[in-house]
Structure 1
Amino acid sequence: MTRLTGAQFGVNPDLIQRVECAPDTILTLVDGTKLIVRESLEEVIALVHEHRASLLARSRELEARGPLGAVPDPSDAPEDDHRVPPPVPLRPRRR
């Protein structure tokens, strides 16, 4: 997004509650924050759609690669790995 001053910044599109044109484009976030941006309503909507489409495409790429290194099941470990270390003896404090 671009502020009216020309400074660019990023917005999490999941936090946008609504977009208004009055005549400037105003983004209202779920926490009530209002941001005025240079982009038009149509541009904001297109950017949100593009972002969400890229997330779906990336998700499909990762699925096509197969499992992502799942955490091993501890029950599959050899019996030796299930041993509990002996407790550490505690010593009274010296005074």
Structure 2
Amino acid sequence: MDGPQQCSTDGFPVIVVTRLNGPPFAVNPDLVQRIDSAPDTILTLVDGTKYIVEEPMVDVISSINEHRSRMIARAQEIQREDADHNHLRSAPALREDHDEDSDDDSAPPRTDRAELALVKRITREDS
């Protein structure tokens, strides 16, 4: 293999490396805590898992840097798209609640005060 490959699996960006004397596998580069070269390249993940891979340390580091650069570029692209297509508008002002002590029931109570309005209506009917 000519160095780590980059791909996306189920929407999660990963790099593909090759186990020493084994098949290729995908690694989330954000989980790589440390890379050693003694003489084989050893990836140590944040949970302590270690993998010995065929790719040289320089290639793995380069692949991780490219991955991070792509993530930053994509985030900036999304920000620009959001700014260009900003369809958010402020909501209209809510109507003021009518006076609680008023006998005028022409305006319906707000839904978040439905129980209170029901109690007041029952109280008025009973009196």
Fold match, TM over 0.5?
yes
The equivalent residue for 1:10 is 26
Classify the secondary structure of the residue corresponding to 2:18: coil
TM-score between the two structures when normalised by the length of structure 2: 0.53
Q: Which amino acid aligns with 1:9?
A: F
Q: Which runs of structure 2 are paired with 1:1-95 in the superposition (5 Å)?
A: 1-66=17-82, 76=92, 83=111
TM-score between the two structures when normalised by the length of structure 1: 0.69
**Percent identical across equivalent pairs?**
44
Q: Which amino acid aligns with 1:46?
A: S
Structure 2: where are the runs of 5+ without partners?
1-16, 96-107, 116-127
The equivalent residue for 2:4 is none
| Separation of aligned partners in 1, 2:28 and 2:67 | 10
Root-mean-square deviation over aligned CA pairs: 3.0
Q: Which runs of 4+ in 1 moved over 2 A?
A: 67-73, 75-80
Structure 1: where are the runs of 5+ without partners?
88-95
Structure 1 residue 70: Cα displacement: 8.8
Distance 1:64 1:23, change over 3 A: same
Higher CA-based Rg: 2
